[in-house]
């Protein structure tokens, strides 16, 4: 059946399967950048709801799956439109609060299942935006305790290095590239240098009889500098502070005190903001007893570093991090290759816990570095091909790339992947890849449940009818929706809102981690490999 004929069949099925609302003048069909479609949404809650409903109706890619799960999108329109019209009632004497608007939208948005879906709705009364993530809301309802525990865990591999060499959990070798760690060290180094220089200036002024009309303002600036620098150093200890926040605070400090730095003859360099755009964040390699090669990284952004040579020089912190990432990955890969060639490889552990995903091209550098060259069909996919709810493409094979360089194939030793509730998107695709291998094994807890691929570029809208609608923070509403829908296994199941179930369920033992600094999930993976 050709593509056009297939689309006709799907469209006919759509009419037979759903009692869809007819498109009328009050439900404008629009593309991503058609701002005329948002005009009425700027003034009335009911118009905002109708436009949002239609945008989801046209762009969302799993309405058939939602119907199976009991979601009736037409009934959502009929049920909730009167409630939004009530918000526009001129006799209403109170403003719509953000909490009230969020509660109303949550009643139906939170029933949807796509793991990536995120929507932003403007409160027309307050000007603030509410943000809804239905899969996170579902996780909090169904397994919130597990999620809260796991999202805080960062294994201290350094603990395992300190174990006796004959301990089965000992890691004789460990290497790391950590973008936040680099930033923290740099900030601490330069702020401490500034503090010492400012203290020396203050001491010199005090010894000379104290501040006078010529240096009193500089003297006061130095005292303020010390307080601000100490506060900045202290703030770095807050785990909640992300890299971009740290960079901004430090670079703002540099600009505020550039004159003081010159007066003190201290170099206070700005840090490259590109470090804040790093989706990788960190990469860890450890070689555990039994020659078990372990890899953990913060996000799928390895391709940015491994595909391109580092640019800059040794004074560039971005350059230092770039070369460190390359060094750590190469040590992991070369260790596996050398050990396997010598028939000494015990196994491989890939750790994607708390990894939110990223670039598909990274597949070749992770699981793909252990599989045959040439790539393979991981699962299947379909794409939205029109504005009708069921305007889907034919189901197509989803190919993933494997490493093209000459390398040994690891098919005779166990490959274990550690995954948890906070493992999403590419982490789940990789988890599925490991689970599908004859020598693959999954340990941990059920993953996030967002296995579809996205692209919210406006340029893609006319060819995929998906990827996103509206503009974040500009239009009255914005939606981040799936472009490709993944279908997995022989029965080609959609796993949105479900995730990948581990071969062995091992919940995180928080007390073990907090009191002994040990990781029971990691140790379960080591035990499994030792037992093979």
Q: In this structure, are 5 and 122 located in the same domain?
A: yes
Per DSSP, the three-state class of 502 is coil
Q: In this structure, are 8 and 116 located in the same domain?
A: yes
Q: In this structure, are 127 and 2 located in the same domain?
A: yes
Residue 467 pLDDT class (50, 70, 90 cuts): low
Residue 499 pLDDT > 90, yes or no?
yes
Neighbouring residues of 163: CB distance < 8 A, sequence distance ≥ 6 = 169, 170, 171
Q: In this structure, are 126 and 223 located in the same domain?
A: no
Percent of the chain clearing pLDDT 70 (strictly above): 90
Single residue among 251, 275, 299 that ends a domain in this structure: 275
Tokens of 14: 């759509």
Q: What is the mean pLDDT of residues 159-165?
A: 93
In a domain, 355, yes or no: no
Q: In this structure, are 89 and 204 located in the same domain?
A: no
In a domain, 263, yes or no: yes
503-510 LR contacts (CB < 8 Å, sep 24+): 503/435, 503/441, 503/442, 503/443, 504/441, 504/442, 504/443, 504/528, 505/444, 505/445, 505/446, 506/443, 506/444, 506/445, 507/146, 507/445, 508/146, 508/149, 508/150, 508/153, 508/420, 508/445, 510/149, 510/153
Q: In this structure, are 127 and 205 located in the same domain?
A: no
Question: What is the Cα–Cα distance from 407 to 141, expressed in whole angstroms?
Answer: 45
Tally of structural domains, the chain: 2
Percent of the chain clearing pLDDT 90 (strictly above): 69
Q: In this structure, are 107 and 186 located in the same domain?
A: no
In a domain, 509, yes or no: no
Q: In this structure, are 23 and 81 located in the same domain?
A: yes
In a domain, 427, yes or no: no
Q: In this structure, are 125 and 188 located in the same domain?
A: no
Predicted TM-score of the model (pTM): 0.87
Q: In this structure, are 103 and 2 located in the same domain?
A: yes
Q: pLDDT tens digits for 2-51?
A: 333 333 233 223 333 333 444 433 434 444 445 667 788 999 999 999 99
Single residue among 275, 290, 305 that ends a domain in this structure: 275
Residue 331 pLDDT > 50, yes or no?
yes
Q: Can you give the pLDDT at residue 455?
A: 57
Residue 214 pLDDT > 50, yes or no?
yes
In a domain, 447, yes or no: no
Q: In this structure, are 192 and 123 located in the same domain?
A: no
In a domain, 110, yes or no: yes
Single residue among 213, 242, 275 that ends a domain in this structure: 275
In a domain, 114, yes or no: yes
Q: pLDDT tens digits for 294-318?
A: 999 999 999 999 998 887 777 788 8
Q: Range of 27's domain?
A: 1-132+371-407+452-487
Q: Can you give the pLDDT at residue 29?
A: 42
Question: What is the Cα–Cα distance from 505 to 437, expressed in whole angstroms?
Answer: 18
In a domain, 105, yes or no: yes
Residue 217 pLDDT class (50, 70, 90 cuts): confident
Q: In this structure, are 118 and 43 located in the same domain?
A: yes
């Amino acid at each position: 059946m050709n593509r056009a004929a297939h689309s006709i069949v799907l469209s006919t099925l759509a009419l037979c399967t759903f009692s869809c609302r007819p498109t009328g003048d009050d439900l404008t069909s629009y593309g991503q950048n058609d701002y005329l479609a948002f005009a009425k949404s700027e003034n009335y809650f009911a118009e905002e709801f109708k436009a949002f409903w239609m945008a989801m109706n046209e762009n969302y890619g799993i309405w058939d799956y939602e119907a199976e799960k009991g979601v009736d999108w037409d009934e959502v329109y009929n049920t909730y439109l009167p409630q939004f019209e009530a918000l526009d009632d001129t006799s209403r004497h109170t403003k719509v609060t953000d909490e009230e608007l969020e509660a109303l939208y949550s009643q139906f948005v939170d029933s949807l299942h796509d793991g990536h879906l995120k929507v932003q709705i403007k409160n027309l009364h307050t000007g603030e935006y509410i943000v809804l993530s239905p899969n996170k809301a579902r996780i909090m309802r169904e397994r919130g305790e597990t999620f809260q525990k796991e999202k805080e865990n960062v294994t201290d591999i350094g603990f395992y290095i300190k174990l006796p060499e004959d301990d089965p959990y000992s890691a004789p070798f460990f290497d790391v590239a950590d973008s936040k760690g680099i930033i923290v060290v740099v900030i601490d180094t330069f702020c401490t240098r500034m503090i010492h220089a400012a203290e020396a200036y203050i001491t010199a002024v005090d010894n000379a009889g104290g501040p006078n009309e010529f240096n009193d303002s500089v003297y006061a600036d130095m005292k303020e500098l010390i307080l601000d620098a100490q506060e900045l150093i202290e703030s770095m200890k807050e785990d909640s502070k992300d890299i971009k926040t740290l960079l901004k605070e430090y670079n703002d400090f540099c600009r505020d005190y550039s004159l003081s730095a010159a007066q003190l003859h201290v170099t206070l360099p700005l840090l490259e903001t590109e470090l804040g755009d790093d989706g990788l964040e960190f990469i860890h390699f450890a070689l555990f007893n039994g020659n078990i090669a372990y890899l953990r990284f913060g996000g799928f952004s390895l391709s940015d570093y491994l595909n391109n040579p580092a640019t800059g020089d040794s004074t560039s912190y971005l350059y230092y991090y770039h070369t460190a990432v390359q060094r750590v990955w190469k040590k992991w890969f070369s260790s596996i290759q050398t050990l396997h060639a010598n028939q000494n490889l015990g196994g491989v552990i890939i750790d994607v816990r708390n990894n939110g995903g990223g670039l598909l091209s990274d597949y070749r550098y992770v699981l793909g570095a252990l599989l045959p060259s040439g790539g393979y069909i991981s699962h299947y996919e379909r794409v939205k091909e029109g504005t009708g709810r069921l305007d889907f493409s034919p189901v197509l094979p989803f190919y993933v790339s494997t490493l093209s360089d000459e390398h040994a194939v690891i098919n005779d030793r166990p490959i274990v992947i550690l995954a948890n509730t906070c493992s999403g998107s590419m982490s789940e695709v990789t988890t599925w890849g490991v689970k599908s291998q004859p020598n693959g094994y999954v340990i941990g807890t059920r993953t996030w449940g967002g296995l579809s691929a996205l692209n919210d570029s406006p340029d893609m809208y006319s060819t995929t009818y998906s990827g996103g609608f509206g503009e974040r923070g500009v239009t009255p509403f914005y939606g981040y929706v799936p472009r490709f829908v993944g279908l997995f296994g022989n029965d080609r199941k959609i796993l949105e809102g479900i995730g990948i179930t581990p071969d062995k369920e091992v919940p995180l033992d928080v007390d073990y981690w907090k009191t002994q600094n040990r990781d029971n999930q990691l140790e379960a993976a080591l035990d499994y490999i030792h037992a093979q």
